[in-house]
């Protein structure tokens, strides 16, 4: 179940960071949440969204894109970690 959530985060991130998404998500989870990507659960999503927003903000100046990215990750929490159609 946790692995599925991680995959969903990677799927969302792929819409922004393409082939670098998996590495990006793994890095955010292991460095900022101090846990393995497989053990990611929905309670971690707000913190992960915060760090991911901050990180994407360092790569692009497009504020709307950064906000959309954060909302897309948070939407997984609202959906209870279930698979949903991602925007962007």
* Residue 29 and residue 6 in contact, taking contact as beta carbons nearer than 8 Å: yes
Judged by beta carbon, residue 14 or residue 75, the one nearer another protein is 14
Q: How far is the CB of 54 from another protein (least distance, A)?
A: 8
62 binds another protein per the rule CB under 8 A:
yes
Question: Which of 48, 51, 36, 56 minimizes the C-alpha distance to 74?
Answer: 48
Site for another protein in 65-84 (CB under 8 A): 65
20 binds another protein per the rule CB under 8 A:
yes
Q: What is the contact surface with another protein in residues (CB under 8 A)?
A: 14-21, 23-24, 27, 54-56, 58-60, 62, 65, 88
């Amino acid at each position: 179940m946790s692995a599925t959530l991680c995959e969903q985060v990677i799927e969302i991130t792929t819409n922004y960071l393409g082939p670098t998404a998996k590495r990006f998500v793994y890095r955010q989870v292991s460095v900022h949440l101090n846990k393995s990507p497989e053990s990611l659960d929905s309670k971690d999503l707000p913190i992960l969204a915060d760090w991911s927003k901050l990180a994407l903000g360092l790569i692009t100046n497009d504020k709307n894109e950064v906000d959309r990215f954060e909302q897309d990750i948070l939407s997984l929490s609202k959906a209870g970690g279930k698979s949903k159609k991602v925007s962007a």
